[in-house]
Structure formats: C-alpha cells, structure tokens
C-alpha cells in the first residue's frame, strides 16, 4: 500500500470505528445474532471504478476480528469492472457487521476520488501535461484522499503548508505585487521552491525576474495560457489552475503547460457503489 510511512492506519481505524460504534457497540447485531455465528461475504463493485483503499477497508474487519480471513482479488489502482468481486471474507458475524459501514464508507469514498481522478488523467493522456491534486480535501482525510488521487493517476502537489512556498493572490495583495512577494519569499531562505500565482500575462516577467521557480497560471483561458507558455519560454514549470472541468482539461493541456491542478478530484468526487453481500455459515 502506498500510504505515507507516517500515516497511522491503526489510529485512523480506531477513530472511525469509535465514531460508528459509540459506547454501546452494535446493539442490533448483539441482540439478534449469536456471539459465535459466522458469516462469509463478498465485497462487489456495483459499477465500473478505480479501486483505492482496499487495504484500509480490510483493516476495519481485522480490527474487530483478529482471525478474520480476507482474500483480496483486486488492488489499489486497479480498474475494476461492474460486478467484479473485490474481496472475500470469512469471520465472526457480529464483528463483520460492526465493521461493514466504516469499511464501505472509506472504500467507496476513496475509490470515488480515484475513479474521478482517472477520468481527468485519461482526458490529458498523451499531451505531456501532468495532473496535480490540491489541498482542497475533506478535513482529516487529506492523506487518504491524496493517496486515492495517486491511485487514479494524479501526482501529489503540496500535502501541507510547510511543503512548499506558494504565493497566492492574497499574499500578492498584502505584499504590494508579485515581484515583491517573490523577493520576500526568496529572502526567507526556506530551502523550498517558490511558486507564485499570476492571473495576468504582464505579471510573468516581474515574477521571473524576482526569482520565481514555478508559475501558477490562475483562471487563464487557452489563449492566455498559450501566450504565457510563449512568454515563459521554458524557464520555469507552468501550472494551469482554476475552474478546470472534464470538458475543458484537454483544451488546457494542449496549450503546452506542464501541469494542471484540479481541486474537483478530491473536493467533489462522488462515492462509487460497492456492496458487501453475506451468506450465513454455521459455527
């Protein structure tokens, strides 16, 4: 699994389970199902999707039943057809039912991010432009959503504010201009690349003269992006951003920009349909 080394999977699983189980646990299953009853189950894709989070989903079942048997039939990043079985499980019935919603919620959401990301990545395939994600993520889920974006074919951009210097329009306004913002960032000697947002062509030369390492071309149309590519002449990487949709991303990529960042892939991805189908097994 390609989760960062510093991601605490056990802590995440316990926190999500606690949210669902509360202090009393699964009172319905405990009242209606024998303590030693066993289930076998299949987790199935109910639509075509790109899978992300299958190991995370498995961890919920293992947390409540250390002896659960899990067979993974697909892996993170796989394109999965409608009707495909993703995993098979066999274990304690109460534990499986208690873990089900947390596992499915996580897998459906992360696979939704990966599926939408793959659509964007496919739309610019062959152009040479790289798809980037953003910090527009659900609070508390950034690591997992950016993991899912990688599984869908995007490259991760800044994970946190301390990963890179990005001078946005509000920074520019406070500093009094693009060039002054870049000069201040360079003078801070952070050791990080200095990226600056520009929304007009006439800001490009001042930004580059001040030492910008990367330009974020914000809300520019294709004609403006082509002009920006011409003016920059390969001196720094160029990233297009702002209002990018599946309908427009290919046109933007064809302008020659190096990167396109898309907030929608994490901010607006719909969950995919994945179900868990059970059969009773005598203890």
- DSSP annotation of 238 reads E
Query: Is 67 marked active-site?
Result: no
State whether residue 258 is helix, strand or coil: coil
Distances (CA, A) of 235 to 157, 182, 209, 215, 267: 20, 16, 11, 10, 31
- Active site residue: 26, 76, 100, 197, which one? 197
- Active site residue: 218, 227, 254, 273, which one? 218
d(C-alpha 103, C-alpha 105), whole Å:
6
* Torsion, Cα of 71, 75, 80, 84 (10° steps): 0
Query: Is 168 marked active-site?
Result: yes
Query: Is 136 marked active-site?
Result: yes
State whether residue 237 is helix, strand or coil: coil
d(C-alpha 264, C-alpha 133), whole Å:
9
- Which tokens sit at 153? 């074919």
- Active site residue: 136, 142, 183, 184, which one? 136
Contact 45, 274 (CB under 8 A): yes
Contact 198, 216 (CB under 8 A): yes
Contact 102, 16 (CB under 8 A): yes
CB-based contacts of 142: which residues, under 8 Å, 6+ apart?
135, 159
- Active site residue: 62, 101, 135, 184, which one? 101
d(C-alpha 90, C-alpha 49), whole Å:
24
Query: Is 186 marked active-site?
Result: no
State whether residue 91 is helix, strand or coil: strand
Nearest alpha carbon to residue 240 among 221, 213, 264, 267 = 221
Which residues are known catalytic residues?
Answer: 101, 136, 168, 197, 218
């Amino acid at each position: 699994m390609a989760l960062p080394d510093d991601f605490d999977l056990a802590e995440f699983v316990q926190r999500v389970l606690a949210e669902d189980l509360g202090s009393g646990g699964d009172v319905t299953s405990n009242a209606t199902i024998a303590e030693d009853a066993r289930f076998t189950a299949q987790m199935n894709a109910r639509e075509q999707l790109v899978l992300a989070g299958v190991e995370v989903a498995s961890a919920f079942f293992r947390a409540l039943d250390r002896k659960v048997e899990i067979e993974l039939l697909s892996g993170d990043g796989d394109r999965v057809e409608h009707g495909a079985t993703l995993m098979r499980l066999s274990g304690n019935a109460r534990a499986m039912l208690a873990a089900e919603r947390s596992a499915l919620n996580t897998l459906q959401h992360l696979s939704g991010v990966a599926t939408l990301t793959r659509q964007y990545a496919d739309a610019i395939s062959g152009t040479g432009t790289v798809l980037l994600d953003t910090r527009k993520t659900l609070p508390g889920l950034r690591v997992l959503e950016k993991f899912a974006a990688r599984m869908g074919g995007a490259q991760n951009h800044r994970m946190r504010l301390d990963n890179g210097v990005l001078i946005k329009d509000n920074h520019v306004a406070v500093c009094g201009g693009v060039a002054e913002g870049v000069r201040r960032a360079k003078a801070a000697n952070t050791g990080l690349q200095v990226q600056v947002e520009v929304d007009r062509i006439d800001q490009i030369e001042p930004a580059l003269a001040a030492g910008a390492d990367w330009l974020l071309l914000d809300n520019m149309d294709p004609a403006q992006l082509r002009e920006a590519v011409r003016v920059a002449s390969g001196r720094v990487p160029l990233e297009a951003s702002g209002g990018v949709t599946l309908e427009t991303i290919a046109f933007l990529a064809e302008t020659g920009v190096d990167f396109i960042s898309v907030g929608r892939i994490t901010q607006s991805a719909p969950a995919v349909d994945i179900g868990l189908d059970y059969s009773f097994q005598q203890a």
